[in-house]
Amino acid sequence: MSETGITDSYTRYRDPVLLYVSMSVLFSFIAAMLVFPNFRYANMYTNAQQSSSRVKKFAMHVGFLLPLLTLASFTSPIKKQLVYGPRKLLTEPQLEILRVFLPILSLVFRVALKAPHLQAHLNLSAAKLKALQRETGYIRNIALQATIFRYYSYFCAVILQYFAPVLLSFFFALLLKTTGDLSWLGLSPSTDLPPPAVGSLRSIFDATVCRSIWSFSLVFVTFTNVVLSFMGVMYNSYFLPL
């Protein structure tokens, strides 16, 4: 620690309760922030199935289930089967970098399939207009225009809600790769590394601690996205058909 300029006042034992409370508050805030974006994505995902080809539907299903595959890669049965199984398909460094590649692949699918999902949101205005036309009574043109304009004026927020959950997982995956000394090729980490710069996160925590922190963050965010997305799909399919 003396090589990095960290004094003994920072290395003596401290009660971790404050750290646990801070992380609990932080992740609770993140989970609350992800509720509406994931419900919005589930709504677009459900409605986009109605006007898409079979190829696009298959691609949307793959993109929707990729976060679930990311969660599965962190489970012990999958690790035992891939790393320590009879075939030994992957080494442990390769499995760790696979956990980084999966959120990146999820972002690629989310970007590639943005058109049908965002178009599904814009189609809500036409569906709302048809629903109003089926109602009895007189409807003013200004009210109809305001109803349609509401969906288009909210379009920028919808784009942010569409990309925010997967971008958060993407950033945590990059932090896991950078601070955890992971190789893009799945090679074992090198032991001859230069000392970290003073003030960086690596000057306080080693690679093992950083991998634990960002792996937990990635698992938590991915688990939250998966649960909320499935809840949103069930809500839109059974309780709010459109």
In a domain, 95, yes or no: yes
Q: Averaged over 91-114, what is the pLDDT?
A: 92
Instruction: Tell whether 153 is covered by a domain.
Output: yes
Does residue 3 lie within any of the structural domains? Answer: no
127-161: per-residue pLDDT in tens? 777 777 776 667 777 777 777 788 888 889 999 99
Domain-located, residue 175: yes
Calculate what percentage of the chain has a pLDDT beyond 90: 43
Q: HEC string of the chain?
A: CCCCCCCHHHHCCCCCHHHHHHHHHHHHHHHHHCHHHHHHHHHHHHHHHHHCCHHHHHHHHHHHHHHHHHHHHCCHHHHHHHCCCCCCCCCHHHHHHHHHHHHHHHHHHHHHCHHHHHHHHHHHHHHHHHHHHCCCCCCCHHHHHHHHHHHHHCHHHHHHHHHHHHHHHHHHHHHHHHHCCCCCCCCCCCCCCCCCCCCCHHHCCCHHHHHHHHHHHHHHHHHHHHHHHHHHHHHHHHHCCC
pTM confidence score: 0.81
pLDDT beyond 90 at 70: yes
Q: Which domain holds residue 230?
A: 8-239
Specify if 202 maps to a domain: yes
Note whether residue 180 is domain-resident: yes
How many domains does one find in the chain? 1
Residue 2 lies in a domain: no
| Domain contains 20 | yes
